[in-house]
Amino acid sequence: MSLMDLYGATALVIDGNPTSRSILVSQLREMGARTVAQSPRITDARRQLEFRTFDVVVCEQHFPNDTGTGQALLDDLRRAGLLPFATVFIMVTAEAAYSKVAEAAESALDSYLLKPFTASQLAQRIGQARHRKTVLKDIFEAVEGGRYERAAELCLRRFQQRDDYWLYAARVGAELLLRLERYDEAQRLYEAVVEAKAMPWAKLGVARAQLEAGQSQKASQTLQGLINGEPGYADAYDVMGRAQIELGNFDAALAAYRMATDLTPSSISRLQRHGMLAHYCGQGALAEELLARSVRLGLDSKMFDAQSLVLLGFMRFEAGDRKGLQRYLDDALRMVERHPKSLRLRRLAQVLEIALLLHDAQVARVLSEVRAMMATITEADFDFEAACNLTTLLAYLAQRAIQIDEVEERLTVLGRRFCTSKALTALLAQAANAHPPYAERLSTLHNEVLGIVEHAMRQSLAGNPRAAVLELIEQGRATCNAKIIESAWGVLKRYESRIDDAAALADVIQPLRERYQSYANKSVIGDKAARQAGGVSLRVMDVKTVEG
């Protein structure tokens, strides 16, 4: 089969205009496509693309009778990792200025066509896209096989030699370096691309590398420069929001997320992220508006995050709306039915069940359920999201003067584990706003954690880094705190030449890093795809599980 021949291929045409859709379907069939599915609406197309794989997708950019755009669909699919590498995605538009949008979306978009165009032009664009995929096949075979170091090496070689598609290879290579935690190398590669050809995605990549390396202020400055030059680049606002959260500037983060949402009003993931942060910033009305819209747009979508149902359920609980709370619980239970093995979904549904029981004043059952949840605080799969939800439930109990003898002790255990940064502490405290004394207690625990780290660091500065590592290991085990565990790792790596048993200590720390995900301890609100905003859509496993 030649690159311009679609014999036996499957295709999807997304276009709200029946005449245009019919013409595209005929053109693809004439090229040999075996099956050509059609979708007149964005929501229908999203559903098809989430549950079916197509060789070619041809999508209109504008949908006058729909709330979304082809770009918004592409953006959501890319960030959710739902577009396989093999799928060719062609955008069709009558807008000559679309090249700017195409540049920003290059990580998933293979090409775009300006109307009017001929069948031969469409075939040529599809052929060019398939040719790129063929040329870069070795890179993506390495990615799909979990050989990320090898894939990054191939990308760097193609970039350095300026072989065909060197710019795209550089983007893939930098993305892999980020995921391999080689942040300095990723930043240098992005900077080299900027120097060779000032692409917005490369400038965004520099900021992403800075952010992952813990340089939030530098990332914010880089992003501001990018936004000044590219004010319509939605991914830049996603990353700016993350940077501002990590700096503890929640109002600025909200402003960034609002810009991203305004630019892509039908993006399910952006609506959720914006709504979740609004909730934790105490802007209940805005949060409910955004999260309810995400439910209407995508409750059945793979991009939908069930945490939205929990927060909406909390809002209905506070309003005394039992019917509304029951509705969100029912939605969560349906998600559990579709994914019965998901521990996270079961836990989220349990949170809503406890809220409903509390609304109905079934105190004995509430106490039993809450105690069971408190018993899991130090388990590996009990994450920051679970901590926030449990904290909210405990605050509701205290607000209603329902006593649990061990609550102060368990809240302290929770805080010592999850108060790892100023930003995360502020979010956790906000989750307890129904009972201010709990919020105040959590805030003080961050200072306690800082005190532990500072005490150990003084031993390191006094010339005894081994003692510092041992102290941090002991405290990390006791608190399960990711900052303390990662501090132990950082001191060990810095002074390993002066620590005789460094290898043995590394073998002690590494399981703690894996168990409590200390290396990934970042302030992410909403879907985890926010961490890859602006990145290439790579369907990869966790790099921690491969490469030996």
Low-confidence ranges of the chain (pLDDT < 50): 1-3, 103-107, 527, 529, 540-548
pLDDT in tens, 442-490: 999 999 999 999 999 999 999 999 999 999 999 999 999 999 999 999 9
Place of tokens 């030699």: 161
Count CB neighbours of 229 within 10 A: 12
Cα gap 367→320, rounded to integer Å:
20
| pTM over the 0.85 mark | no
pLDDT in tens, 108-133: 567 888 888 899 999 999 998 888 88
DSSP per residue, 481-532: -HHHHHHHHHHHHHHGGG-TTHHHHHHHHHHHHHHHTGGG-----S-GGGGG
Can you name the residues that pair with 92 across neighbouring β-strands?
A: 60, 113
Would you state the pLDDT for residue 548? 30
Place of tokens 């293979």: 110
The DSSP symbol for 376 reads T
Topology alike, domains 10-145 and 147-230: no
Domain boundaries, the chain: 10-145, 147-230
Cα gap 395→347, rounded to integer Å:
18
> CA of 99: how far to CAs of 20, 71, 279, 314, 395, in Å?
21, 12, 36, 43, 51
266, 341, 331: which is closest to 305 by C-alpha? 331
- Quick one: which H or E segment has residue 470? helix 465-479
First to last CA, the chain: 38
Contacts for 210 with CB less than 8 Å, ≥ 6 apart: 183, 187, 216, 218, 219, 222
**CATH of span 147-230:** 1.25.40
Can you name the residues that pair with 113 across neighbouring β-strands?
A: 92
Cα gap 235→266, rounded to integer Å:
15
The pairing of strands 35-39 and 111-114 is unpaired
Would you state the pLDDT for residue 72? 80
Would you state the pLDDT for residue 387? 96
Would you state the pLDDT for residue 438? 97
CB 398 within 8 A of CB 435: yes
CB 404 within 8 A of CB 438: no
Residue 464 amino acid letter: N
Would you state the pLDDT for residue 369? 97
**Secondary structure E strands in 252-391:** none
Helix (H, G, I), strand (E, B), or coil: what is residue 369? Answer: helix
Would you state the pLDDT for residue 542? 43
**Superfamily name and number for 10-145:** Response regulator (3.40.50.2300)
